[in-house]
Amino acid sequence: MPEPIVQVEALTKTFVHMGRPLEVLRGIDLRIDQGEVLAIVGTSGAGKSTLLHCIGTLDTPTQGKIRIGKEEITGLSSKRLAAIRNRSIGFVFQFHHLLPEFTAIENVMMPGLIQGRSQSEMRGHAEGLLAEVGLAKRGTHRPGELSGGEQQRVALARALVLSPKLILADEPTGNLDSKTGADIQALFFDMNRKHGTTIIVVTHDRSFAESMPRVVSMKDGLVERDTRNTAIPSYASLKEQGAKLEEKAAEAAPEPAAASDA
Protein backbone atom coordinates (compact mmCIF):
# COMPACT_ATOMS: atom_id res chain seq x y z
CA MET A 1 0.00 0.00 0.00
CA PRO A 2 1.55 3.36 -0.95
CA GLU A 3 2.10 5.77 1.90
CA PRO A 4 0.43 9.18 1.74
CA ILE A 5 2.72 12.18 1.82
CA VAL A 6 0.01 14.84 1.73
CA GLN A 7 -3.45 14.47 3.22
CA VAL A 8 -5.80 17.40 3.03
CA GLU A 9 -9.18 17.16 4.77
CA ALA A 10 -12.10 19.58 4.55
CA LEU A 11 -9.70 22.44 4.01
CA THR A 12 -11.06 25.95 3.85
CA LYS A 13 -9.39 29.32 3.50
CA THR A 14 -11.21 32.60 3.84
CA PHE A 15 -9.46 35.90 3.24
CA VAL A 16 -10.98 39.07 4.58
CA HIS A 17 -10.75 41.72 1.94
CA MET A 18 -12.02 45.28 2.52
CA GLY A 19 -13.88 43.99 5.56
CA ARG A 20 -15.67 41.25 3.60
CA PRO A 21 -14.93 37.53 3.73
CA LEU A 22 -13.72 35.90 0.54
CA GLU A 23 -13.99 32.10 0.58
CA VAL A 24 -11.09 30.99 -1.58
CA LEU A 25 -10.93 27.32 -0.55
CA ARG A 26 -14.32 25.85 0.32
CA GLY A 27 -13.66 22.29 1.45
CA ILE A 28 -10.78 20.51 -0.24
CA ASP A 29 -10.10 16.81 0.28
CA LEU A 30 -7.00 15.41 -1.36
CA ARG A 31 -4.62 12.53 -0.77
CA ILE A 32 -1.28 12.37 -2.52
CA ASP A 33 0.97 9.35 -2.16
CA GLN A 34 4.73 9.27 -1.97
CA GLY A 35 6.33 9.28 -5.39
CA GLU A 36 3.33 10.68 -7.26
CA VAL A 37 3.65 13.44 -9.82
CA LEU A 38 0.50 15.42 -10.51
CA ALA A 39 -0.87 18.64 -11.92
CA ILE A 40 -3.35 21.00 -10.31
CA VAL A 41 -5.25 22.92 -12.96
CA GLY A 42 -8.14 25.36 -13.00
CA THR A 43 -9.05 28.86 -14.10
CA SER A 44 -7.27 31.83 -12.63
CA GLY A 45 -8.63 32.58 -9.17
CA ALA A 46 -9.76 28.98 -8.53
CA GLY A 47 -7.56 28.79 -5.43
CA LYS A 48 -4.65 26.73 -6.80
CA SER A 49 -1.85 28.88 -5.39
CA THR A 50 -3.63 29.24 -2.08
CA LEU A 51 -3.93 25.46 -1.78
CA LEU A 52 -0.26 25.01 -2.70
CA HIS A 53 0.78 27.61 -0.13
CA CYS A 54 -1.26 25.87 2.58
CA ILE A 55 0.27 22.48 1.72
CA GLY A 56 3.69 24.13 1.66
CA THR A 57 3.17 25.67 5.13
CA LEU A 58 3.62 29.16 3.63
CA ASP A 59 0.04 30.03 4.54
CA THR A 60 -2.34 28.69 7.17
CA PRO A 61 -5.82 27.40 6.41
CA THR A 62 -8.95 28.75 8.08
CA GLN A 63 -10.34 25.27 8.85
CA GLY A 64 -9.55 21.67 8.05
CA LYS A 65 -6.48 19.50 8.33
CA ILE A 66 -3.25 18.97 6.47
CA ARG A 67 -0.87 16.14 7.17
CA ILE A 68 2.63 16.01 5.68
CA GLY A 69 3.82 12.44 6.02
CA LYS A 70 2.53 11.42 9.41
CA GLU A 71 2.67 14.89 10.89
CA GLU A 72 -0.43 17.03 11.32
CA ILE A 73 0.74 20.53 10.48
CA THR A 74 -2.38 22.55 11.17
CA GLY A 75 -2.02 24.57 14.34
CA LEU A 76 1.77 24.22 14.62
CA SER A 77 3.89 27.24 15.54
CA SER A 78 5.56 29.14 12.74
CA LYS A 79 8.94 27.94 13.99
CA ARG A 80 7.86 24.31 13.78
CA LEU A 81 6.35 24.91 10.33
CA ALA A 82 9.61 26.44 9.13
CA ALA A 83 11.49 23.36 10.34
CA ILE A 84 9.12 21.04 8.44
CA ARG A 85 9.32 23.24 5.36
CA ASN A 86 13.12 23.24 5.38
CA ARG A 87 13.35 19.52 5.95
CA SER A 88 10.63 18.19 3.68
CA ILE A 89 9.59 20.67 1.00
CA GLY A 90 11.23 22.30 -2.02
CA PHE A 91 9.59 25.12 -3.96
CA VAL A 92 9.72 26.21 -7.59
CA PHE A 93 7.81 29.35 -8.51
CA GLN A 94 6.91 30.97 -11.80
CA PHE A 95 9.62 33.52 -11.28
CA HIS A 96 12.70 31.72 -10.15
CA HIS A 97 13.55 33.92 -7.13
CA LEU A 98 17.26 33.26 -7.57
CA LEU A 99 19.58 35.65 -5.78
CA PRO A 100 21.02 37.86 -8.54
CA GLU A 101 24.37 38.55 -6.92
CA PHE A 102 25.22 34.87 -6.45
CA THR A 103 26.32 32.32 -9.04
CA ALA A 104 24.14 29.37 -10.08
CA ILE A 105 26.14 27.02 -7.90
CA GLU A 106 25.94 29.33 -4.89
CA ASN A 107 22.19 29.68 -5.38
CA VAL A 108 21.80 25.90 -5.37
CA MET A 109 24.03 25.57 -2.28
CA MET A 110 22.18 28.31 -0.39
CA PRO A 111 19.42 26.30 1.37
CA GLY A 112 22.10 24.00 2.79
CA LEU A 113 24.37 26.84 3.87
CA ILE A 114 21.42 28.48 5.64
CA GLN A 115 20.97 25.19 7.50
CA GLY A 116 24.60 25.29 8.60
CA ARG A 117 25.88 22.55 6.30
CA SER A 118 29.47 22.81 5.16
CA GLN A 119 30.56 24.61 1.99
CA SER A 120 32.36 21.53 0.69
CA GLU A 121 29.42 19.18 1.24
CA MET A 122 26.97 21.59 -0.39
CA ARG A 123 29.27 22.41 -3.29
CA GLY A 124 29.59 18.74 -4.24
CA HIS A 125 25.87 18.27 -3.96
CA ALA A 126 25.06 21.40 -5.97
CA GLU A 127 27.49 20.45 -8.73
CA GLY A 128 25.88 17.04 -9.03
CA LEU A 129 22.39 18.53 -9.28
CA LEU A 130 23.40 21.19 -11.79
CA ALA A 131 24.82 18.40 -13.94
CA GLU A 132 21.54 16.48 -13.59
CA VAL A 133 19.54 19.46 -14.83
CA GLY A 134 21.95 19.87 -17.76
CA LEU A 135 23.87 22.89 -16.46
CA ALA A 136 27.24 21.40 -15.54
CA LYS A 137 28.97 24.19 -17.45
CA ARG A 138 26.90 27.08 -16.10
CA GLY A 139 27.70 26.85 -12.40
CA THR A 140 29.70 30.08 -12.31
CA HIS A 141 27.08 32.15 -14.16
CA ARG A 142 24.94 34.63 -12.29
CA PRO A 143 21.16 34.43 -12.94
CA GLY A 144 21.35 37.48 -15.23
CA GLU A 145 23.75 35.52 -17.45
CA LEU A 146 21.32 32.61 -17.88
CA SER A 147 18.24 32.17 -20.09
CA GLY A 148 14.78 31.86 -18.51
CA GLY A 149 14.80 28.09 -18.95
CA GLU A 150 18.27 27.82 -17.45
CA GLN A 151 17.23 29.94 -14.49
CA GLN A 152 14.29 27.62 -13.90
CA ARG A 153 16.65 24.60 -14.04
CA VAL A 154 18.78 26.23 -11.37
CA ALA A 155 15.64 26.83 -9.31
CA LEU A 156 14.75 23.14 -9.64
CA ALA A 157 18.26 22.08 -8.60
CA ARG A 158 17.98 24.43 -5.60
CA ALA A 159 14.60 22.95 -4.68
CA LEU A 160 16.17 19.47 -4.70
CA VAL A 161 19.37 20.25 -2.85
CA LEU A 162 18.21 19.19 0.61
CA SER A 163 16.57 16.05 -0.85
CA PRO A 164 13.00 17.06 0.05
CA LYS A 165 10.25 14.44 -0.06
CA LEU A 166 7.95 16.92 -1.74
CA ILE A 167 8.35 19.56 -4.44
CA LEU A 168 5.67 22.18 -4.95
CA ALA A 169 5.82 24.13 -8.19
CA ASP A 170 3.53 27.05 -9.01
CA GLU A 171 3.32 27.74 -12.75
CA PRO A 172 6.98 26.78 -13.25
CA THR A 173 6.67 27.03 -17.03
CA GLY A 174 4.32 30.02 -17.02
CA ASN A 175 7.07 32.40 -18.00
CA LEU A 176 8.76 30.23 -20.64
CA ASP A 177 8.24 29.57 -24.35
CA SER A 178 6.64 26.21 -25.14
CA LYS A 179 9.83 24.38 -26.14
CA THR A 180 11.70 25.50 -23.02
CA GLY A 181 8.61 24.73 -20.95
CA ALA A 182 8.52 21.20 -22.38
CA ASP A 183 12.17 20.69 -21.39
CA ILE A 184 11.41 21.77 -17.83
CA GLN A 185 8.39 19.42 -17.75
CA ALA A 186 10.60 16.53 -18.82
CA LEU A 187 13.01 17.42 -16.07
CA PHE A 188 10.28 17.24 -13.42
CA PHE A 189 9.50 13.70 -14.58
CA ASP A 190 13.18 12.77 -14.57
CA MET A 191 13.58 14.02 -11.03
CA ASN A 192 10.44 12.22 -9.88
CA ARG A 193 11.64 8.91 -11.31
CA LYS A 194 15.25 9.33 -10.31
CA HIS A 195 14.85 10.64 -6.76
CA GLY A 196 11.33 9.43 -5.97
CA THR A 197 10.40 13.00 -5.06
CA THR A 198 6.66 13.65 -4.96
CA ILE A 199 5.93 16.59 -7.24
CA ILE A 200 2.82 18.78 -7.33
CA VAL A 201 2.73 21.25 -10.20
CA VAL A 202 0.16 24.00 -10.55
CA THR A 203 -0.09 24.77 -14.24
CA HIS A 204 -2.45 26.13 -16.81
CA ASP A 205 -0.34 24.64 -19.57
CA ARG A 206 -2.74 22.11 -21.05
CA SER A 207 -0.10 19.89 -22.65
CA PHE A 208 1.87 19.79 -19.41
CA ALA A 209 -1.22 18.72 -17.50
CA GLU A 210 -2.13 16.11 -20.13
CA SER A 211 1.32 14.55 -19.81
CA MET A 212 0.71 13.91 -16.10
CA PRO A 213 -0.40 10.62 -14.53
CA ARG A 214 -2.86 12.55 -12.38
CA VAL A 215 -4.69 15.84 -12.86
CA VAL A 216 -6.66 17.56 -10.12
CA SER A 217 -8.98 20.25 -11.51
CA MET A 218 -10.11 23.02 -9.21
CA LYS A 219 -13.04 25.34 -9.61
CA ASP A 220 -14.25 28.04 -7.24
CA GLY A 221 -12.28 26.72 -4.30
CA LEU A 222 -13.29 23.07 -4.74
CA VAL A 223 -11.83 20.00 -6.40
CA GLU A 224 -14.01 19.57 -9.45
CA ARG A 225 -12.30 16.48 -10.90
CA ASP A 226 -9.45 14.17 -10.01
CA THR A 227 -8.42 12.05 -12.98
CA ARG A 228 -5.68 9.47 -13.40
CA ASN A 229 -3.98 8.24 -16.51
CA THR A 230 -2.42 4.94 -15.56
CA ALA A 231 -0.64 4.71 -18.91
CA ILE A 232 1.78 7.41 -17.77
CA PRO A 233 4.28 6.08 -15.25
CA SER A 234 5.43 7.89 -12.14
CA TYR A 235 7.92 6.79 -9.52
CA ALA A 236 4.95 5.74 -7.37
CA SER A 237 3.35 3.52 -10.03
CA LEU A 238 6.67 2.04 -11.13
CA LYS A 239 7.48 1.22 -7.55
CA GLU A 240 4.10 -0.38 -7.03
CA GLN A 241 4.54 -2.42 -10.21
CA GLY A 242 7.99 -3.37 -9.00
CA ALA A 243 6.51 -4.58 -5.73
CA LYS A 244 3.86 -6.57 -7.59
CA LEU A 245 6.42 -8.06 -9.94
CA GLU A 246 8.48 -9.09 -6.93
CA GLU A 247 5.41 -10.72 -5.38
CA LYS A 248 4.79 -12.62 -8.61
CA ALA A 249 8.42 -13.68 -8.79
CA ALA A 250 8.27 -14.87 -5.18
CA GLU A 251 5.09 -16.88 -5.89
CA ALA A 252 6.66 -18.48 -8.94
CA ALA A 253 9.97 -19.23 -7.26
CA PRO A 254 10.56 -22.84 -6.22
CA GLU A 255 10.56 -23.69 -2.53
CA PRO A 256 14.01 -23.20 -1.06
CA ALA A 257 15.82 -26.52 -0.90
CA ALA A 258 15.67 -28.17 2.51
CA ALA A 259 18.88 -27.78 4.43
CA SER A 260 20.97 -30.87 4.11
CA ASP A 261 21.72 -32.57 7.41
CA ALA A 262 25.34 -33.14 6.54
Ligand X SMILES: Nc1ncnc2c1ncn2[C@@H]1O[C@H](COP(=O)(O)OP(=O)(O)O)[C@@H](O)[C@H]1O
User: Given the rule CB under 6 A, which residues bind ligand X?
Assistant: 15, 17, 22, 24, 42, 44-50
Distance CA 99, CA 69 (A): 30
**88 sits near Mg ion (criterion: CB under 5 A):** no
157 binds, among Mg ion, ligand X, none (CB under 5 to 8 A by kind): none
Name the minimum Å distance from CB 106 to Mg ion.
Answer: 29
Name the minimum Å distance from CB 40 to ligand X.
Answer: 8
24 binds, among Mg ion, ligand X, none (CB under 5 to 8 A by kind): ligand X
97 binds, among Mg ion, ligand X, none (CB under 5 to 8 A by kind): none
Residues with Cβ within 8 Å of residue 37, at least 6 apart in sequence: 188, 189, 192, 198, 199, 201, 212, 213, 214, 234, 235, 236
Q: How far is CA 31 from CA 7, 169, 177, 198, 261, in A?
A: 5, 17, 32, 12, 53
Name the minimum Å distance from CB 160 to ligand X.
Answer: 23
Name the minimum Å distance from CB 236 to Mg ion.
Answer: 25
Of residues 41 through 60, those in contact with Mg ion by CB under 5 A are 49
Q: Please name which of 87, 21, 13, 89 lies closest in space to residue 51, comparing C-alpha atoms.
A: 13
Q: Please name which of 104, 109, 66 lies closest in space to residue 85, comparing C-alpha atoms.
A: 66
**103 sits near Mg ion (criterion: CB under 5 A):** no
Name the minimum Å distance from CB 234 to ligand X.
Answer: 23
Distance CA 46, CA 49 (A): 9
Cβ proximity to Mg ion, 33 vs 170, nearer residue? 170
Distance CA 218, CA 240 (A): 27
139 binds, among Mg ion, ligand X, none (CB under 5 to 8 A by kind): none
Side-chain-side CA neighbours of residue 78 (13 Å)? 3
136 binds, among Mg ion, ligand X, none (CB under 5 to 8 A by kind): none
**151 sits near Mg ion (criterion: CB under 5 A):** no
Tell me which residues touch Mg ion (CB under 5 A).
Answer: 49
